Amino acid sequence: MPQPPADLAGRVALVTGASRGIGRGLALALAGAGATVAATARTLEDLESLAEEGRAAGGRIVPVEADLADVPSLRRAVEEVGREHGRLDVLVNNAGLGFNHDALEVTESDWDRMMDVNLKGLFFASQAAVRLMADRGYGRIINMSSQAGLVGIRRHAVYSASKGGVNMLTKVLALEWAPLGITVNAVAPTYIRTPGTAERLDQPEIAGDILARIPVGRFGTIDDVAAAVLYLASPAAGLVTGTVLPVDGGWTAQ
């Protein structure tokens, strides 16, 4: 009989960009499902309250310093998890940048900043993680993509390019690493209500335009994203790899 999707007891997970928003929620969800969670941010101070909240809920969240735009930094973070816990079962590549530009206004710096974190950092974090996972013949990698990597959205040229790259990278890595017992999938959310997005999504003109494009008629929540990540991180998703799972209320079905 298969294990329940949310049963991650005994697993070790690493979540990048976990100090706030979706990443914070994912770290708490994975810890709540029984995993020991290494949570990264650029400074350990940014993770103190997250670790405390995890402990208060009966979970275990361990702060780890890492800068996803700095490949040696993220490699050190993954190696630290391996030394401290002796294994790494789940990597959630959540860290990312998101800002809007008219395409004619994009600078080289804008392009490089977003690609360094959203695509380059994700790839090298995955590469480092697989060096640990391959020895055990088991691993789950979940990449945070976006509906903007599946359909065109005005003023998102660089962001969409980075997330489209995440989607294709997910497929290629799934093919290469399947023989190692490692699955690679992506989750592509719509607009998610978080403390950081609430101010914008609460503006009636913005909310009305977005909700008109979401058939289910509501914004996403962190719990919506966490449910998809928990499934893909679990033993129940052992035959699922190379997929991009939209959590978008039907946006990309149109």
pLDDT tens digit sequence for 105-121: 999 999 999 999 999 99
Q: Answer whether residue 3 is part of any domain.
A: no
Q: What residue type is 100 in one-letter code? A: N
Domain carrying residue 105: 12-193+221-246
Number of domain units in the chain:
1
Q: Is the pLDDT of residue 156 over 60?
A: yes
Q: Answer whether residue 215 is part of any domain.
A: no
**Stretch 158-171: mean pLDDT:** 98
Q: Answer whether residue 52 is part of any domain.
A: yes
Q: Answer whether residue 147 is part of any domain.
A: yes
Q: Answer whether residue 204 is part of any domain.
A: no
Q: What band does 2 get if pLDDT is binned at 50, 70 and 90?
A: very low
Q: How far is CA 43 from CA 40, 58, 213, 249, in A?
A: 8, 24, 37, 34
pLDDT digits (tens, 9 = 90+) for 45-68: 999 999 999 999 999 999 999 999
Q: Answer whether residue 4 is part of any domain.
A: no
How many other C-beta atoms lie within 10 A of the C-beta of residue 210?
Answer: 15
pTM of the model: 0.96
CATH code of 40's domain: 3.40.50.720
**Stretch 140-151: mean pLDDT:** 97
Q: Answer whether residue 213 is part of any domain.
A: no
How high is the mean pLDDT of the chain?
95
Q: What residue type is 233 in one-letter code? A: A
pLDDT digits (tens, 9 = 90+) for 196-217: 899 899 999 999 999 999 999 9
Asked whether the beta carbons of 186 and 167 are under 8 A apart, the reply is: yes
Instruction: State the Cα–Cα distance between residues 52 and 37, nearest whole angstrom.
Output: 13
Q: Is 159 a catalytic residue?
A: yes
